[in-house]
Amino acid sequence: MTVADTEFRDYTPYRSTYIPPKRCGDHWNKVVLRLEGAVAGRQFDRLGYLHIGGVEVLRTSTPEPSPKGITWNVEKDVTRYAATLRGEQPVEMLIGNTVDGTYTGVIKVKVTLTFYAAEGPVKAASTPDKVLTLDGAHSVGAAYEGQLTTPRNSEKIVAEVYATGSGGGCEEFWYLTVPDSAPYSCKAKDGPYREVQVAVDGRLAGIAAPFPTVWTGGWSNPFLWYVVPGPRAFDVRPIEYDLTPFAGQLNDGKPHRITVSVAGLPEGQSGWSTPTNILVWQDAKSSDLTGALTTHDAGAPRNTTAYEPGTERHLRADGGHSLTVAGYLDTSHGRVTTTVTRNITGNSDHRWNENETTDALQARWNDDETVTVTGRGPAAVTRTHRTYTMDGETTVSTADRLRTVMTMGDRSDSVTLRAGRRLDWSSFDDTYKGDAAYNQNVPREQRHATGVSRERYRLDGPGSCYDRMLATAQGELTEDRRRC
């Protein structure tokens, strides 16, 4: 099914109507979104979104083009939004763009959905019963706030937040910001620590470490990402928060205030976007579930910085936070208690010289989460360990040649146990390495850009394995190797 087929020249959203497919039922095993894009001329990297029925199903960005043009495509599993896709829905898409005498690139996109309905014994995917958005969602200072009314029989509630630091200002490079007292071009009162928080009726309900996304013009070097973009740049993955401990509070049929904010963002400063969906699983055998929040333990946030002056300046930053919440629900199959514990840390060493012709960062973020569900029988425990890493350096020579060397890591491991028996597991590792250089402040034909990059993406789970490696040199794909 074609969802969008348009061009973006300005900041006018594309609007149309989505109509569900007629020939493959309404309970699918998989739904895959595919975006095909093309742009030629001169243009910045641009951010965009796709909403179906008000639900954010894709947050994306674009490559920076060449005069001859560049094409790209994105595929995303959107099966989790099946509840929205079963009915006719309004579509809104925008990749904000500027086309004038200088910036000539018109962004052309086509978005389709492919539905899979397997025959035989394969069951339809277990997806949320409802996908909700926040009513009256609006910005309150640097926060994003709206009202949520869940069905009274909600048994599991998960918020997903598409958090991006963007807009071309310093929050696009939030991990490089320094306190006001340190001499650097990007300031933030409390330094580089950022934490994406969700609150229910003003009470902290979830915390997470944001991923340090680098867009295709990032680190002042578009040639670093010319063939292979950085992890998540074209498919921004949402942060997930299990809000089930708050279900007893949310299930009263009344609207509740949901607030999404970014801790560490200077007060009154913009630069973050945090659109939010709410996924709800319902108890089919009960119309009204009651319960209560029983535990709320928000540890004291930690955020310290140490600036070291000198020929090479250093800012060492260390931050972290922990949160444990628990609550119960009386369901059709007995009382179920859900406990969520999350612990996040971030530490970095940022070094630069006086005129910032050397600018480097070595950083690591950990986001550990444990969800324990108890009821009848042994408890089910799911542990997830996420690690994001960045090791990059940009230098500018006396001849004004800029070089960037970068390694980025996006890793996570998850396991679900019951009575010591492993029910499910996954292991994910996406590692990017690149080295690119070009002459600054000269006409395009005098830039003499060079660049090499390599990315390996691995995902393992029960009975499945995906392992692919791409390598590039001077704007061409030189290697495409599949393992497993």
pLDDT, tens only, 278-315: 999 999 999 999 999 999 999 999 999 999 999 999 99
What pTM was estimated for this model as a whole? 0.95
Phi, psi of 170 (to 5 degrees): -65, -25
Q: What percent of the chain has pLDDT over 90?
A: 90
The pLDDT assigned to 352 comes to 98
Q: Locate CATH 2.60.120.1570 in the chain.
A: 1-120
Superfamily of domain 1-120: Peptide-N-glycosidase F, N-terminal domain (2.60.120.1570)
Of the candidate CATH numbers 1.10.533.10, 2.60.120.230, 2.40.160.20, 3.40.50.2300, the domain formed by 128-482 belongs to 2.60.120.230
Output the CA torsion sign for 214, 216, 217, 223. Answer: positive
Q: What would the pLDDT profile of 378-409 be if each residue is shown by its tens digit?
A: 999 999 999 999 999 999 999 999 999 999 99
Please say whether the beta carbons of 115 and 24 come within 8 A: yes
Helix or strand (DSSP H, E) at 58 = strand 55-61
Indicate if the pLDDT at residue 362 is higher than 70.
Answer: yes
Tokens found for residue 275: 């659109």
Tokens found for residue 295: 């535990």
Bridge pairing between strands 195-200 and 450-461:
unpaired
Strand ranges of the sheet holding 154-161, from the earlier edge strand across to the other edge = 130-133, 276-282, 154-161, 239-242
Which residue, 197, 131, 150, 163, is CA-closest to 275? 163
Which residue, 87, 21, 5, is CA-closest to 52? 87
Q: Is 96 helix (H, G, I), strand (E, B) or coil?
A: coil
Alpha-carbon distance of 29 to 39, in angstroms, equals: 33
- pLDDT category of residue 6 using cuts at 50, 70 and 90: very high
The burial of 200, by beta-carbon neighbours within 10 Å (0-12 exposed, 13-18 middle, 19 or more buried), is given as buried
Q: Where are the alpha helices (DSSP H) in 46-174?
A: 82-85
